Amino acid sequence: MARRKTGSVTFKTVRDIGLSLPDVEESTSYGTPALKTRRKLFARLHQDGHHLVLKCELLEREMLLQAAPEVFSITDHYKDYPWILVDLSTVSRNALPDMIERAWRMVASKKQLAQHGSSSED
């Protein structure tokens, strides 16, 4: 799914995709650039500057970790939380919009989901 690099991916790429979603704002988290909606974090640049910390359902996270360990990882810090690390140097630019939207959906309100032309997956 997200294995092949199709162009250089930076947090600017992530930011541009995220800002196309309803009510997303640039912010910071742990001193790094972040994306939030309604003050709820769904993506941020990891402090190492090479990984994206992305909100992710735990079941989906397990599938991603098994399918593409060169792209996705977690640290002990994240093991009990719905977050995944995405290696910006190996992730496919084409996979990012879906991944970022899925993270946004986890924190978006029903109203935001409706405005975006979709329904909640709750």
Domain presence at residue 121: no
Quick: pLDDT tens for 1-52. Answer: 454 444 579 999 999 999 999 999 999 999 999 999 999 999 999 999 999 9
Domain presence at residue 122: no
Cβ contacts of 63 within 8 Å, gap of 6 or more = none
How many independent structural domains does the chain possess?
1
The number of angstroms, rounded, from the C-alpha of 100 to the middle of its chain's C-alpha atoms is: 4
- pLDDT score at 118: 58
Domain presence at residue 83: yes
Q: Which two structure tokens, joined as six digits, stand for 18?
A: 């995220």
Domain presence at residue 3: no
CATH number, domain with residue 107: 3.90.1150.30
Between CA 41 and CA 32 the distance in angstroms is: 12
3-state DSSP call for residue 97?
A: helix
Contact 86, 21 (CB under 8 A): no
Quick: pLDDT tens for 55-113. Answer: 999 999 999 999 999 999 999 999 999 999 999 999 999 999 999 999 999 999 998 88
Domain presence at residue 67: yes
Domain span holding position 104: 11-115
